[in-house]
Chain A
Amino acid sequence: MQTTRRRFLKYGLGGVLLLAVPAVGLSLRRSVLVEPKSALLTFSPRQYSTLTAMADTLCPGGGKLPSASDLDIAGTLDMLFSRMHPGVGADLAAALDLLENALAGAVLDQRFQTFTACDADVRDEVLRDWSTSAITLRRAVYKALRGFIMAAYWGNAATWGAIGYPGIADYSAVPSPPPFDEYIAALTPEPERGADDEPDSEPQEASP
């Protein structure tokens, strides 16, 4: 049977629930919630908090760099996923639930707290384990979440100065090239020249 990402998440959580019967105390370990900065459109407060914790682990900031929390990367992604197919948000919500769950953490990562309750070093270790896990689909989930978080964080102009990226140049005053008909006409000054003839020169392009 092919193991799909949806099946992995479903059975991963299913397995956790099954194990949770004798280990209900562990599965009920509390999450440390953070207050969303705006109304959530995709995730629950718990999932938003997990995403915030993951984003801060991946992008902690420092020096001239802001942290992911400073930029509310979790909020940015909550908004993004609300504009995508509902299945995408559902998959990622399931992935965040799996990451947060203390029982899953105990089984998969030998940690006995929810992800949001872990200190920074433990979170760091957990994500490192996910990124190099022998379970392919665990690496896949890590890579997907990492990609979204990194894109939202480094796509934010507030991060650019610290890495020497000069920002986006403004070309709004540069005129568009002439319409094709005019362009070709400029290349073929001889009136008798046929439209299908190849041009033998072209106007000088703008300098960089």
Chain B
Amino acid sequence: MTGSIVSAATFTSPTELDCDVCIVGSGAGGSVLAAGLVEQGLDVVMLEAGSHYTRKDFKGNQPWAFDNMYQERGARATEDLAITVLQGRSVGGSTTINWSTCYRTPDRIFAHWADVHGVKDVSPSMMAPHFDAVERRLNIKEWPVDRANGNNRVLLRGGEKLGWHPHALKRNVRGCMNSGYCGEGCPVDAKQGMAVSYLDDAVRGGLRIVCNCEVERFEWSERKAQAVHGVAVDPDSDHSLGIPVTVRAKVFVNSGGAINGPALFLRSGIEGNGLIGKRTFVHPVSGVSGLYDEHIGPWAGAPQSIGCHHFNDRGPEKMGFFLEAAPLQPMLASTVGFLFGGAHSEFMRKLGNVGVTIALGIDGILPQDVGGTVLLKSDGRVWLRYPIEAHLTECLAAAHKEMARCHFAAGAKQVATLHAEAIVMNSEAELSKLDSAPYGAHEQSLFTAHVMGGCAMGGEAGTSVVNSDLQMWDFDNLFVVDGSVLPTSLGVNPSETIYALAHRARERVAAAV
């Protein structure tokens, strides 16, 4: 049986669908799950707020991509606007626009989840078959160092000189042309995002996807979810078309991601002991740029191919961080920092010789680090409140110094921070300029592409939203399968963890039907 991908915008009257399982959201979690459920013969309907795009739409055009495939057209941010939040919004979710970096969950994170959060049966050995399976389907393999772009070579060169053991990372690609357009939708279908892998499998097996459908709420009573109610939205404006879409199912799965997913529960009056939307983590990202004599070309080639985890564990009272590179096409590059006018134009003229290293803070591990909170605003918007606390500013200060050292070790002739008043250093001897730098909100550019938590799994109903099988404690037929179930951040890019947890959830969700 072949399924379908239909836009709700084509509906001319209220539409009701029945199925075994309804999945809200088509990203990393929902897609892997859908393929497994269909394989088991179940009738599955998936609802997606964004549009369905294919490689013919992907032309490496960053403005088009942000406008059409990112949440809030790329303008999503924390409530105080201090952290830009990059998340996908189309069939395939963030996997359509992510930078294709894949890591297994670190063993120490699994151990932390078991010890501190009571998570059961999610250990390295028990997860290994699931990692194996998704790595095979998505062709997750180490990207050859000799194909790393200039920006990643900076991190490799600097990190090696400093003894930090930078390493080649893995990517989910097949036939990659090294175009550098991962964030704009792969123009050759090389990136094995969900739309060309698990969703393709699932649709061929009978999955029905309804895109351009904004889900508003779950209908439920006592321990049973009975329906989800959504509305068709205009693909161009995302504004409601006023046509209701209702899906009734035996089992429901919220795979809406770690901001929209908790928001859906809150709109539905599902509060999960007051824990819905709490403990949301973002791997807060800061960056430092280096100016080189050589051409770096930070806009070309695989966006990320080198990683460095030398600073993951900085001691018991400190937030760890890890280092990667970030692609710099003109549009994205121009938005970081605070410069303007002639000084900014001069920076942009040198962009081809600039490398940017990013540090990602590992939040949620320290006992006092409770991360952020997803909130509903009275006008219908969803906001993430993420305070920048002392442990984060300490981490940012340390990370800035190490990133600057790395650039100098790699041969940069000048290093600059992304502060409101950029701190410019011309040699390692000037690193002390960073000692008095401010690291609070809006003192420097911060962003995230890794939103995790908000519906954390755990060992007890009083301290978590879902159990270790990803089932809501308060419901018999409602699951959460996406990055929101992570009890902490990971210290690695989260997509493969979500794929594997969703792969593991296949049997559990099917058993609930």
Contact = CB atoms under 8 A, between A and B. Distances in A.
A171 B252 CA distance: 40
Interface string A127-164: 10001100011011111101110111111100110111
B175 A143 contact: no
Contacts of B82: 140
B72 A62 contact: no
Interface in A169-184: 169-172, 174-177, 180, 183
Interface string A77-119: 0001011111110000000000000000000000000000000
A70 interface: no
B320 interface: no
Contact of B137 (A82, A86, A160, A180): A180
Interface in B77-92: 77, 79-82, 84
Contacts of A152: 63
A140 B442 contact: yes
Main secondary structure of the interface of B (DSSP, over half): loop
A143 B337 CA distance: 9
B65 to A, nearest CB: 10
A13 interface: no
A163 B380 contact: no
Contacts of B79: 4-5
A62 B349 contact: no
A177 B340 contact: no
Interface string B306-339: 0000000000000000000000011111110010
Contacts of B73: 80, 83-84
A208 B67 contact: no
Contacts of A82: 237
B197 A87 contact: no
Interface in B9-64: 55-56, 59-63
Nearest to B133: A196
Interface stretch (B182-190, B451-459, B463-471): B182-190
Contacts of B348: 154, 159, 163
Interface residues of B, number: 71
A179 to B, nearest CB: 8
A164 B330 CA distance: 10
A58 interface: yes
Contacts of A124: 341
Contacts of B188: 171, 174-177
Contacts of A86: 379
Nearest to B137: A180
A27 interface: no
A123 B345 CA distance: 17
A85 B378 CA distance: 13
Nearest to B297: A166
Contact of B442 (A85, A143, A169, A171): A143
A146 B340 contact: yes
A206 interface: yes
B333 A154 contact: yes
B63 A163 contact: no
Contact of A151 (B74, B190, B341): B74
A147 B445 CA distance: 11
Nearest to A139: B442
Given A127-B340, A163-B349, A208-B301, A176 B189 contact: yes
B114 interface: no
Nearest to B443: A139
B351 A83 contact: no
B421 interface: yes
Contacts of A163: 330, 348-349, 351-352
A63 B348 CA distance: 13
Contacts of A143: 81, 338, 442
19 contacts: A5-B79, A58-B340, A62-B345, A65-B345, A88-B72, A124-B341, A143-B442, A150-B331, A150-B335, A151-B66, A151-B332, A152-B63, A155-B63, A165-B329, A177-B190, A198-B132, A199-B136, A206-B175, A208-B147
Q: Which 7 A-B pairs have the closest CB atoms?
A: A155-B63, A154-B334, A155-B331, A177-B175, A208-B178, A139-B442, A176-B189
Given A140-B82, A148-B75, A202-B139, 11 more contacts: A4-B79, A57-B341, A140-B441, A154-B330, A154-B334, A162-B349, A168-B181, A169-B60, A171-B177, A175-B188, A208-B178
